[in-house]
A = this chain, B = another copy of it.
Amino acid sequence: MGGREFDIIERYFAGYISFSPPQVILGPGDDCAILDVPADQELSVSTDTLIEGVHFPAGCAANMSDLAAMGAAPFAFTLALTMPAEDDAWLEEFSATLSRLVGKYDIPLVGGNLARGALSITMTVMGIAPKGASIRRSGANPGDIVYVTGTLGDAAGGLAILGQDKKATGHLIDRYYYPNPRLETGLALRGIASAAIDLSDGLLADLAHICKASDAGARIIADNLPLSTALTGAFAADQARAFALGAGDDYELCFTAPAGAADRIAEVARSTGVIVTAIGDITADDGVCLTDRAGHPLSAGQAGYQHFDDA
C-alpha cells in the first residue's frame, strides 16, 4: 500500500472499517485481512465490477443479492476502487454511501485497494450458511412450483422514465436506484427452496439459468406475474409485462420449491414482510415457456415476448 493510498483510506474509510464483528480476526492494514469462518458454516463468494455510470448503491445491491440467492448471511467484503484522480467530493459521497451500506447490510469491509485508472469499483462479497444449506441453481425438480419475491419490472420502468426525464422521481425510480436485495427472505428459504437465483438479467433469462443447471424446464403463467400498480399505472399492459419478463435489475429472488411447501413459503413471506408469488412450475422439458391460466402456451405475440431458450 503506497503512502498516498494509505492517506486516502485513513481519511475517507477509517471510520467504518473499524467496525469489526467477531468474524474479523484482523481487519484492513496488513498484507491480508484474517477471517474466522465458523466450523459448521460454508463460505459463499462472489465478485462484481461496477463501472462508470452505474449507481453505486444499486451495484452494491447486486452483490448482496447474490448472497441472498444462496441463502447466505453477509460475512465480509473487499473493495477495489480505481479512479482517474483523487476527487474529494466524490470520495466523500462514496464513503458516506458505503458507510450506510455497511450498516444496512451489517457486513464489514475487510480489505481494499485504491489505484489510479478509469473509474471502476469491484466488490468481492462473502457470505456464510450452515454446511450444505446454501441454495443452488441446480436443485429444481419437475413438479416444483416457481416463485418470485416482490414485484417485477419496476426497475426497468424506472429506467425508462429516467430516459425521458433524468430528474423524475417516484416508486419506480427508487426501485431502480435503491433495490432491496432479499437477504432475509433468502435466509428464511434455506431448507425450503430447492433452487434460487436473483433477478439481475430478467426473469426469463435467470429462470433459464435455473432450468439449465437443474436439467429441467419451466412454464410461467403470464397473468400471474406480480406487477406493481406503479408499473401498470405508468405503462401499457404489454409493456409492463415485457419489463417483468425481460428486464434486469429488480434484484428480486426467483426460487423453486416442492408443491407441499406452500404453507411454509407463505410463512416466509409473512415473517420477512415480502410478498411471494407462485408464477408457474418446473417441467421435464427444456427451456422456459409462457402459458395462459389454462396452461396453454402463448405465442410470442400473445406473450408480448419471445420464447426464451435456456443458455
Contact = CB atoms under 8 A, between A and B. Distances in A.
Interface of A: 1-3, 6, 25-26, 29-37, 39, 42-49, 51-52, 65-67, 69-70, 72, 76, 78-80, 82, 110-113, 115-118, 120, 122, 124-127, 131, 134, 136-138, 196-198, 201, 205, 209, 213, 311
A39 B39 contact: yes
B80 A49 contact: yes
Given A31-B66, A37-B43, 20 more contacts: A3-B311, A25-B42, A26-B134, A29-B137, A30-B137, A31-B46, A32-B66, A35-B42, A35-B43, A35-B44, A37-B42, A43-B43, A45-B111, A45-B126, A46-B78, A47-B80, A47-B111, A47-B113, A78-B124, A115-B120
B67 A32 contact: yes
A207 to B, nearest CB: 13
Contacts of A67: 31-32
B113 A122 contact: yes
B80 A45 contact: no
B213 A117 contact: no
Contacts of A33: 44-46
Contacts of A198: 31
7 contacts: A34-B42, A34-B45, A35-B43, A35-B45, A47-B78, A49-B82, A80-B124
A95 B311 CA distance: 22
B136 A26 contact: yes
Given A51-B117, A311-B3, A32 B127 contact: yes
Contacts of A115: 49, 51, 120
A296 to B, nearest CB: 28
A196 B31 CA distance: 9
Contact of A31 (B6, B25, B43, B137): B137
A139 to B, nearest CB: 11
A274 to B, nearest CB: 18
Of the listed residues A43, A115, A136, A197, the one surrounded by the most CB atoms of chain B closer than 10 A to its CB is A43
